[in-house]
Chains A and B, each alone.
Chain A
Amino acid sequence: MTPILSASGLTKRFGNRAACRDVGFELWPGEVLGIVGESGSGKTTLLNCLAGRLRPESGSVVYDSAAYGPVDVHDLSEARRRLLSRTEWGFVNQDARDGLRMGVSAGANIGERLMAVGARHYGDIRRTAAEWLERVEIEQDRLDDRPTTYSGGMRQRLQIARNLVSHPRLVLMDEPTGGLDVSVQARILDLLRGLVERLHLSAVLVTHDLGVARLLTHRLMVMQGGRVVEQGLTDQVLDDPQDAYTQMLVASILPV
């Protein structure tokens, strides 16, 4: 079996500062890998390098695509990278507005990936979009409303639906519940966990919240100052942290 995503020696600098340094890992199909750390640890930079949005100074990211076999994400032509990001990949932004078209209806948002690869039956597109609204627990009568009329939690669900409609194989998520109210967070986490299991998604999830990591991820990488200081099975890392920084992180969670 080949890893669906593998990174090695990834280093990305901004001016003098190395935002992430010599990062490597392998992600297997059906796995959810968490990247945790405080803000400034380099986790979002790493995610953007994996997605091909930032070009690292050194290192490589290899994705095992269904369409072309294993490809180096940064060596891909613009055309292929854009196509993969609309079909085989998903990217859930922390702020849903960055991942949605705010000026068109929810139905259009969800239907876009379908239309981009040739769907031309309005009724079918609409029905599929409505089904997905249901799956992400949004009322179907909101199908024609624009995301500007949605709450933050609803926008996040919509962003998830917009990504998953094309049955992506790999989903990258940047603090998908960050900025949301605690009860709303809990429901979206539940939703994500259910979808990931049912659809056999592989995912890389960036979060500063160890509770989110515990709930959603199989394996965990802990980052500090751009480097990976510890990695392993989530439960093991959280219950029995070896590195001093990880120990401090775990200890600083207030027991609820």
Chain B
Amino acid sequence: MYVAVKGGEAAISHSLELLADKRRGARSITELSLEQIDQQLGLAVDRVMTEGSCYDRLLAALAIKQARGDLVEAIFLLRAYRTTLPRFGDSLPIDTTEMLAERRISATFKDVPGGQVLGPTFDYTHRLLDFSLAAAGERPPAPTAPTDSVVPVPRVGDILQRDGLLEPPPQQADQEADNAEDLTRQPLLLPASRPLRLQNLARGDEGFLLALGYSTQRGYGNNHPFVGEIRYGSVPVSFVPEELGFAIEIAEIEVTECDMVNQFAGSHDKPPQFTRGYGLAFGHAERKAMAMALVDRALRAEELAESTTSPAQDEEFVLAHSDNVEASGFVQHLKLPHYVDFQSELVTVRALREEVEKRNREAALGAAALGKAAE
């Protein structure tokens, strides 16, 4: 006699145990520590913080460890944790002109005030696998410049803007902390304001934005981008507690910022200016910040009265599909049982097939009868 399959609870328990076992891997190998992940897989930690919308290196490291290195899964873990954190209020906007930049470059001018500071980057490496890394070994520390040489430097964008060559940042976010829009607290309604658009892109999947940004460069809505400036370094975060009534510094975070300088726009009465695209990420994440800036500018096409023809310029398409936690959930949810709906489809398909076969049988009989009558 058929007995309904039971024991879902036990099966789930065993599945979780198996997963924990796989996560640990061979017991003869040293277990990873959060500090190791934070220090030696730092760029993975940066990505998880950026797309997880939460700046905490060790939490991100923990998420990466728990997710066995699957960064999208780690981002999900961090976001879910973030939901439970109490909120004290909004900080003041960070000011990246205050940044002590470890790296700062501009492609629009050969030299800029403050200089081209190369910093730590893969850009000048040759992509040859370095087998010496296979074994642990100590490296001598890198030489450092004297501390007083690291000072805040002016932004290339501000310089261009002062001359009127570059438009001011579009639709400045409301400076009043209380009125700040927050994509993690309210639904995204279209058309989107600039703050919500940028929040969506900052949290958006790096791969998705990279592909879209790339597509604009290949002609799908090209906006002639130049890197006005990329800077990476730490900035202070300030907060005004109600009890004090004045701002105090509560943290220092590392960010990567990209200012793209794009296709100029103007009209009969208004002299043309270059336009902007903006990207920002936690930690050191140039690819993300640049892709974000390209897509930000592409999504301004309608605002700048350009013809919108490509996917990167389609606000609804880009903003609805940029979130990899949403995307991963919905794609993978297909693994859940769908047999009831499938059963409905089976019933209908069978009925339709029966109708077609019946029609064909009747047609065949009719033809046979005609054939006989003709004899």
Contacts and interface: CB of A to CB of B under 8 A. Distances in A.
Judged by CB atoms under 8 Å, the answer to whether A and B touch is yes
Contacts of B267: 15-16
Interface string B329-367: 000000000000000000000000000000000000000
B268 interface: yes
A55 to B, nearest CB: 15
A88 to B, nearest CB: 31
A16 B267 CA distance: 8
Contacts of A15: 267-268
Contacts of B268: 15-16
- Interface size range of chain A in the complex: under 10
A16 B268 CA distance: 7
Interface in B246-278: 267-268
Interface in B261-320: 267-268
A39 to B, nearest CB: 19
B269 to A, nearest CB: 9
Interface in A1-30: 15-16
Nearest to B268: A16
Nearest to B305: A15
A15 B269 CA distance: 10
B104 to A, nearest CB: 39
A241 to B, nearest CB: 35
Contacts, number: 4
A15 B267 CA distance: 7
B302 to A, nearest CB: 16
Contacts of A16: 267-268
A16 B266 CA distance: 12
A44 to B, nearest CB: 17
Nearest to A16: B268
Nearest to B267: A15
Nearest to A17: B268
Interface in A104-156: none
A80 B267 CA distance: 35
Interface string A82-99: 000000000000000000
A15 B268 CA distance: 8
A136 B267 CA distance: 47
A16 B269 CA distance: 9
B266 to A, nearest CB: 11
Interface string A22-59: 00000000000000000000000000000000000000
A15 B266 CA distance: 10
B328 to A, nearest CB: 30
Interface in B50-69: none
A16 to B, nearest CB: 5
A77 B268 CA distance: 33
A27 B268 CA distance: 36
A13 to B, nearest CB: 10
Interface string B164-204: 00000000000000000000000000000000000000000
A2 B268 CA distance: 42
A120 B291 CA distance: 50
A26 to B, nearest CB: 34
A15 B306 CA distance: 12
A210 B267 CA distance: 37
B280 to A, nearest CB: 34
A17 to B, nearest CB: 10
Interface string B111-150: 0000000000000000000000000000000000000000
A43 to B, nearest CB: 22
B301 to A, nearest CB: 16
A16 B270 CA distance: 12
B212 to A, nearest CB: 26
Nearest to B269: A16
A248 B267 CA distance: 35
Interface string A164-204: 00000000000000000000000000000000000000000
A129 to B, nearest CB: 23
A14 to B, nearest CB: 10
B230 to A, nearest CB: 35
Interface in A202-256: none
B271 to A, nearest CB: 14
B119 to A, nearest CB: 44
4 contacts: A15-B267, A15-B268, A16-B267, A16-B268
A-B pairs, 3 with minimum CB distance: A16-B268, A15-B267, A15-B268
